[in-house]
Structure 1
Amino acid sequence: MSNILDQSAADLADKIKTKELSSVEVMQATLDRIDQVNGTVNAIVSPRAHEACLADAKAADETENKGPLHGLPVAIKDLANADGLHTSMGSPIFEGNIAQNDDLFVARMKAAGAIVVGKTNTPEFGLGSHTYNPVHGTTVNPFDPNKSAGGSSGGAAAALVTGMVALADGSDMMGSLRNPAAWNNIYGLRPTYGLVPLDMPGDMFSHQLAVAGPMGRTPRDVAMLLDVQAGFDARHPHSFEQPLASPQLGGDLEGMRFGWLGDWGGAYAMDAGVLQTCEDALRHFEALGANVEHIAPPFAAEQMWESWVKLRAWANAGGKLGLYENPKTRALLKDDAIWEIETGMALSAIEVHKMSHIRTQWFTKLNELFAQFDALILPSAQVWPFPKDWTSPSEIAGRGMDTYHRWMEVVVPASLVGIPALNIPAGFNESGLPMGMQILGPRHSDAKLLKIGARWHDACDFKLCKPNLDVLNSNTEDLNSTKESTCRFRP
């Protein structure tokens, strides 16, 4: 296969702009890669015809450069609309639904020159961090096809790490962008709430949990896509302008202070090896000039969890009530969706107020922490990628999980209050499965987090940290990986 796709999206964009590469060359390599591995991984769904994609690439080569994504192949997560493509959201209720327009951030990506090759797979309605649904099936982990790719942006993450797309959008309500990024050894940014306007039918004021954001193989790629997706739009009440991230990636980490929260004092159950992998990786931040300090749990985890579960259920009930009230569509909802809706419906107005008060208290405490630390760090997941045939882990380290999403509790501290969080790769376990860490910062620190990620990436040798595409192409589930158990760092 061509080594074109071993390059970052930013490098590909630069070479297309200078005519060192053509968009057609990049597109042909991309389509060949999809043909090579997607039959095993199942990350790209509702693909456009190869001829149409190549025609768009040819047109890109013959026209003036539109912007930073000009000529780059992308795929859109199947929770968002891309004009003319299937938008099922992984639900049989919407199977066959063809989008009649682009969501705002998709339109911005196209306006910047991106060429959409299809959609990326997601769990039904994006519920849960395992990408399977009755419409498109299961997306598997490219590092071990027996395992989950995570979710709900599992299709996006798997497509990125295998080179089936140059860039990908993700969305993140409860770690849906960070968890799959961690399990696929890539980068993903949950941006400050409102930075990337998200099309949400219905109430646009009350529910401030879900965000859309960029995913990429390097922090520079993530910053490039963020700068396209982000920005004020008068139709979105929480949107705002912020300086571009890409020009702010320079500089070192000398003197920065990072707070390591680990397993939150034992509140978050962890698979064996997760904490050790992250703590081994953290030592490299010190080599880059930063100080890492272990800090005690700053807030009651159970309070945050109660607030999260109820506010999330309230949001799901508000958005999906019509589907629940219609007997025909209710019969097609998965049990997790019904549980979310019924839990939300049972809440009183004063209880919602109390839950929002808890998140306000946590946000206040965070502001105090960010006066002392440049960033806080946590694992991006509590478990290693689990078998693809599971729905979710029922226990972690002997501790039972009381909901379908309790095993993802470690992502709640950022999600509950709308602060930015960047997943960075942390290494691999003895079975060759990836893990990541999430770097949390105060609101509007998106560029600073990407700068931290860029220095991290500069120090890493990721050439040995990619899935074995030849094995994926053989359609076997016996993955004989060639990567090392941890990322190597340059001296």
Structure 2
Amino acid sequence: MYEDIAFRPAREMAAMLRRREISARELVEAHLARIATINPTVNAVVTLSAERALREAHAADERLASGAPVGPLHGLPMAHKDTHDTAGIRTTYGSPFFTGNIPERDELLIERLRAAGAITIGKTNVPEFAAGSHTFNPVFGTTLNPYDVTRSAGGSSGGAAAALATGMHALADGSDMGGSLRNPASFNNVVGLRPSPGRVPVYPASLGWSTLSVQGPLARDAADAALLLSVMAGPDPRSPVALAEPGSEFAPPLDRDLAGLRVAWTPDLDGAFHCAQEVLDVLTPAVRVFEELGCRVTEAAPDLAGAEEVFRTLRAWTFESAYGPLLDADRDLLKPSLAWNIEEGRKLAGSDVARAERLRTEIYHRMREFFQDHDVLLLPVSQVPPFDARLEFPTDIDGVPQATYLDWMRSAYYISVTGSPALSVPAGFTPGGLPVGLQIVGPHHADRLVLEVGHAFERTTGFGQRRPPVA
């Protein structure tokens, strides 16, 4: 019974709750049972708030019984990313600096989820300060991939994606600077959306005008991701970059006829990155599905020259601003890659940041012009399939060296630089049974379009319905 309920779409769970076919308490208990059974194997949920969740579930049932209005996520259990502040629940950011940190207030994203009726059951694992696309830290250890527990679950929203894939929560929140929503979605055979900057406003944020990092939804299918985005999105005066459209514009259904859609496919952005042949062997036939759906598919890529410099510069500048004081306080409490990235920020001059901003503006306009001739862009989410969890990062791709913890993620972070919305959707499996995601990128602010295209693709292929062995 618990397994059947835990793997239903979140929107179906919500409908069952409203019809009173199941209580919020029963739903929370079902997910807590999944956590007790599965989490010791994958280590995705790192702080559990079971008693609080059951109290909230009881209150949710009483509210529904009273006839009071309820939100779109009423009674749905969620474990929040451990970089998102949750009032009264430990939030460590995966760092020894914050092992005992209990925030006094929810951040804006959590405010919205809870106002919509979501029930907090705990927190999900992250790399230290969400740095890197492999989820491990000295506080909670490594999150393992449920399709092969010797492999990485990706990151930085790796705990969130692994918990979704195994039915430990109904929906998941995350964040994405260089691929942290998309990469773990690809590695765990779920859906992850990097929304347009400002689509999901962030508060508090020390760099409120910065748009390289965004927050967004993870789900087991595109329609559930749209449901979650409809709650996350919408203006808020506390964010200077918040977009004006209400979240309701992104709610399902997502049905759309793709006939005539102009689809561009690129395996490597014209040689901008190297992709493992094992990944391309999965994605090449997956792209042909769009032809079957009536799309006009051509191989083409935007010119993203300068994206490497832009991302590395702005990321290092952001990291030094956020974590420089921690490096000064105790370098030994930071993983070496994070310390290196902060130090890269300290080497920057104002002219370096200015050049990066000029290059990023040029990239935006080249991307805008590209989408005058194409409706969506398809490319790999991740350049490799899930890799050995004992490694910090893949050191080579088919023999091509990857020098730093960032090199192997260009297929994701080049897209981050453009500001375009990008969706990771399940696209198949390697011969060894490892998931591979397809990245669907849309024009400026076309968040709903990429969800609709992803929805059509997943309905045709059904790859997202394959459950991991540990589940």
- Normalising by the smaller structure, the TM-score range is over 0.9
Task: Write out aligned runs for 1:33-52 (5 A).
Answer: 33-49=34-50, 51-52=51-52
Q: Which residue matches 2:320?
A: 317
3-state SS of paired residue (1:455): helix
Q: Is it true that 1:184 corresponds to 2:188 in the alignment? A: yes
Using the TM superposition, give the Cα deviation of residue 335 of structure 1 relative to its aligned residue in structure 2, in angstroms: 1.0
Whether the 8 Å CA contact 2:90–2:103 is kept in 1: the answer is: yes
Q: Which residue matches 2:58?
A: 58
3-state SS of paired residue (1:331): helix
Using the TM superposition, give the Cα deviation of residue 469 of structure 1 relative to its aligned residue in structure 2, in angstroms: 3.2
Q: Work out the percentage of aligned pairs sharing the same amino acid.
A: 45
Structure-1 separation of matches of 2:409 and 2:317: 19
Whether the 8 Å CA contact 1:256–1:374 is kept in 2: the answer is: yes
Q: Which residue matches 1:482?
A: none
Task: Write out aligned runs for 1:414-425 (5 A).
Answer: 414-425=415-426
Q: Which residue matches 2:250?
A: 245
Letter in 2 for 1:229: M
The normalised TM-score by structure 1 is 0.92
Q: How many residues align?
A: 464
Letter in 2 for 1:224: L
User: Using a 3 Å threshold, how does the CA distance of structure 1 residues 296 and 177 change in structure 2: closer, same or farther?
Assistant: closer
- Mean CA deviation greater in 212-221 or 413-422: 413-422
Q: Which residue matches 2:117?
A: 113
Residue of 258, 274, 288 corresponding to 2:279: 274
Whether the 8 Å CA contact 1:66–1:111 is kept in 2: the answer is: no
Q: Which residue matches 1:220?
A: 223
3-state SS of paired residue (1:342): helix
Q: Which residue matches 2:414?
A: 413
User: Using a 3 Å threshold, how does the CA distance of structure 1 residues 247 and 140 change in structure 2: closer, same or farther?
Assistant: closer
- Mean CA deviation greater in 266-275 or 70-79: 266-275
Structure-1 separation of matches of 2:16 and 2:302: 47
Structure-2 separation of matches of 1:104 and 1:261: 36
Letter in 1 for 2:392: T
Structure-2 separation of matches of 1:463 and 1:348: 45
Whether the 8 Å CA contact 2:263–2:374 is kept in 1: the answer is: yes
The superposition leaves residues 116-172 of structure 1 with CA deviations (integer Å, 9 ceiling, x where unpaired) of: 000010000111100000001100000001100000000000000101000000100
Whether the 8 Å CA contact 1:17–1:65 is kept in 2: the answer is: no
User: Using a 3 Å threshold, how does the CA distance of structure 1 residues 464 and 104 change in structure 2: closer, same or farther?
Assistant: closer
Using the TM superposition, give the Cα deviation of residue 333 of structure 1 relative to its aligned residue in structure 2, in angstroms: 1.3
Whether the 8 Å CA contact 1:130–1:154 is kept in 2: the answer is: yes
Using the TM superposition, give the Cα deviation of residue 247 of structure 1 relative to its aligned residue in structure 2, in angstroms: 4.8
3-state SS of paired residue (2:412): helix
In the alignment, structure 2 segments of 5+ residues that lack a partner are: none
The normalised TM-score by structure 2 is 0.96
Residue of 50, 71, 75 corresponding to 2:75: 71
Structure-2 separation of matches of 1:298 and 1:101: 43
3-state SS of paired residue (1:450): helix
Using the TM superposition, give the Cα deviation of residue 270 of structure 1 relative to its aligned residue in structure 2, in angstroms: 1.7
Letter in 2 for 1:55: R
Using the TM superposition, give the Cα deviation of residue 296 of structure 1 relative to its aligned residue in structure 2, in angstroms: 4.6
Structure-1 separation of matches of 2:118 and 2:356: 40
The superposition leaves residues 22-48 of structure 1 with CA deviations (integer Å, 9 ceiling, x where unpaired) of: 212211111111111000010001101
Q: Which residue matches 2:441?
A: 440
Q: Is it true that 1:285 corresponds to 2:286 in the alignment? A: no
The superposition leaves residues 92-133 of structure 1 with CA deviations (integer Å, 9 ceiling, x where unpaired) of: 011111111101010100000000000010000111100000
3-state SS of paired residue (1:128): coil
Using the TM superposition, give the Cα deviation of residue 259 of structure 1 relative to its aligned residue in structure 2, in angstroms: 0.7
Letter in 2 for 1:415: S
- Mean CA deviation greater in 133-142 or 258-267: 258-267
Task: Write out aligned runs for 1:117-136 (5 A).
Answer: 117-136=121-140
Whether the 8 Å CA contact 1:151–1:177 is kept in 2: the answer is: yes
Structure-1 separation of matches of 2:211 and 2:97: 25
3-state SS of paired residue (1:10): helix
Q: Is it true that 1:298 corresponds to 2:299 in the alignment? A: no
Q: Which residue matches 1:349?
A: 350
Task: Write out aligned runs for 1:150-161 (5 A).
Answer: 150-161=154-165
Structure-1 separation of matches of 2:204 and 2:326: 16
3-state SS of paired residue (1:266): coil
Whether the 8 Å CA contact 2:212–2:416 is kept in 1: the answer is: yes
Using the TM superposition, give the Cα deviation of residue 462 of structure 1 relative to its aligned residue in structure 2, in angstroms: 4.3
Structure-1 separation of matches of 2:293 and 2:184: 26
The superposition leaves residues 168-206 of structure 1 with CA deviations (integer Å, 9 ceiling, x where unpaired) of: 00100000010000011110100000110123542322x
Whether the 8 Å CA contact 1:381–1:411 is kept in 2: the answer is: yes
Q: Which residue matches 1:31?
A: 32
Letter in 1 for 2:232: Q
Structure-1 separation of matches of 2:88 and 2:464: 37
Letter in 1 for 2:418: V
In the alignment, structure 1 segments of 5+ residues that lack a partner are: 471-491
Structure-1 separation of matches of 2:204 and 2:61: 35
3-state SS of paired residue (2:277): coil
